[in-house]
Structure 1
């Protein structure tokens, strides 16, 4: 019950008075509890006092509701009379962890079976007793505990058999069950009772005399004793709370012994109050340190697991995220249970190690990297580190997701390989034309060589600019200043600047005067990349169409070409780094232009996609951007 009360997800459902989905109820309550306990009756009340979910008969659930009403914000355990017999029940307030405002009540009960008899029914000093509860068979148990929850006890001894009966009491003094106990190991009645009767008879006079003496002296000693008891009770509570208290003033008729006792009580209480104040201060510091520690652990992006005696005692949210379960459900699991006994493959190795083996390896040799398949997140690389406290032996396991680090390393290697390959071609052209210049003084040949060298150099510069942009794309290409950008003017200026340098005809269609918020320079770069991409893959005598359209609260910049188009299975891939629609194409470039377009557009809150051109072959690239205001008039 405490585990559910402190479970944050359970608390959120209770605080919002929300019934969880059926599959959640099944996995966490209806199916889970009966497999792990004898609980058969359950009541879950939300913050408004209404039932969120219950399990069991209507009669039994109603009894749990009576128990919940009697809690008054504190845990309460008792016995209840159910339809099928007595049951042990507990109701706890739902508080979350750390403690929050009470958000409801959680009550559960399980039937009292013969296996539980030892817990509440050992009522004699016999070695073995036999207990009968309602509708239960006799079960022998060993008399090892006392039971304060009984009343109406009777006993008899008949021919060496001791018979004891009592009522099992529950909530509000209700009689929950009748219990009978037999012990056939008692001797005959004569040896047992004769000495007892003799002792009672000979002590009668002494008892009467003592009673008379007590009545005579009561009025002389009762008053100071009552005052002392009340004083001790009061100052004791104040001392425990660390509150100040005033010494008790007693009259002159109080005996010296009481004065001495009172002085001792004052001295001990003063010491207790001082010690309690120190403990409260230390507790406050410890709670503050624990809260700082919890904040640091909970906010850490690294998964943290603290094992005490081989069991998980601390698990932060990052650990739950990496392992695919709520962090609360990891508490109490062993190393084997935490991973379900699975072995994880070690990166760049043929080994597969269990969590216990990984921890031992990390303690002895340092961090180890494993490869896992995370549901919905693909393959991830996790670096496992572990340390052991030299005194307590507690083990702290840290798991850091290094997937992006590995991907950056792979990307750097791929960049170097791609650049070294793609830069060789234009540099060879430049080198060849320079050789021509060195050997041919003819003016016409020199002019042609210079032009070729310039073209090759332009290609090198273009690839270097793309490379610089993509190595820090998110920062480099993000808008630095956000201002109003008139997309119709931006489209017209970009088209005018590119018409002299492309072989195709560029047609501009502006359907509206749209504005967005962003950086003019970056948006021009994105549109220029799309037009350049269209020119690269379109025939020389074809037409590239640039259009501006308004779609509700968004504007669309459209670039259409008459090239081969993009196959459907490649339309998402071509916007990734170093990807091209046709990897075997002889067209120059690193495959970064469309990636840069997507990065710029997403940085402005927009999106980009490619589709088939409506008329004939060709590709239609569409950039959608949010309008700065409502839909502008068509124009």
Structure 2
């Protein structure tokens, strides 16, 4: 279709150019004939028809391929001077197709017949050169049309082949993924073309799906591993309650089973909360959040608990920190970090909450000067059910930092360990509105 469209356009342009050129050449011939006729008529006013006959004979001697032809006849139609013999009756005025003979040559010309005292003057311009130009234009336009057809068909075939080739890569990758190989990605050539950018987008989508699948497998494994013990304990408590003969012992077993069930419900609620945030189910309309006010509020809320447990909470928060986000989720992430600091640090520990705005992010840090965690354990603390060995004896399920990481990622940011010189710390990096892509990622 594209080739046909280009060909039709070429044909239309060629046709218009041919008509315009042809008409311009015909007007040029008419003008040449008119100028020559007027010159001879002006000459006749001084010397009469004899002077015109003399001029015709002189022009005949100097004749070349582009010379005009002449015919001078008297009132009876007898030639006085001529370079051609007419094959049509003479009549005054212009004639576009005047047939004549010159020796053995028979031609057609544009003529102007003018009356003068004692006869007629005919000046003829041969159309042979005009026909040759018309023929040359026709050949050029036909060649251009053929070249355009060939180029259009070739370009369409090439584009079709390249398109099928690129789509076949996508198709091959999709079939491999359908077959179960989630590691396959669409090949890229680095050209930044539309197909290359599409491949990049598809690969990002596949990376996201792969991460979700890995997360699902990890969750399944963690649930199976970490819930086995409390479920076993719950079954034992129920078994003791069902077989116990002493009423007090049965009541104690039922109470213990109830506590165990509540703990399981807390774990599942935390897992569901993390899944909702990571699955972007929390993407309600985001608003501008005053981060400065939020941090000061959280610090004021938890400071009495820190003081009551013989710990200190210091806050250094600059004014004017704002971003687009979900205030409730950000408050929950900060609450988890502060709860961890209360739960897993010894007394007389100092915890510092700070914030710093860079050109594109707001960095929130919560650090303590406690004993910290071994380097080997630090890298896995953001995984579900991951707990430092020293925290095994304290309450908790190892899901707090996993939720913090999910909330940060849901806001287009990240949560990582800050690795202070002493103790333990977490830094949350959140994009600010000044970052062009952040608004799009939050909406």
TM-score class, shorter-chain normalisation, is: 0.3 to 0.5
| TM score, norm. by length of structure 1 | 0.36
Q: Which has the bigger relative contact order, CA under 8 A and spacing at least 6?
A: 2
* Greater percentage in helix: 2
Q: Which has the larger radius of gyration?
A: 2
* Greater percentage in strand: 1
| TM score, norm. by length of structure 2 | 0.48
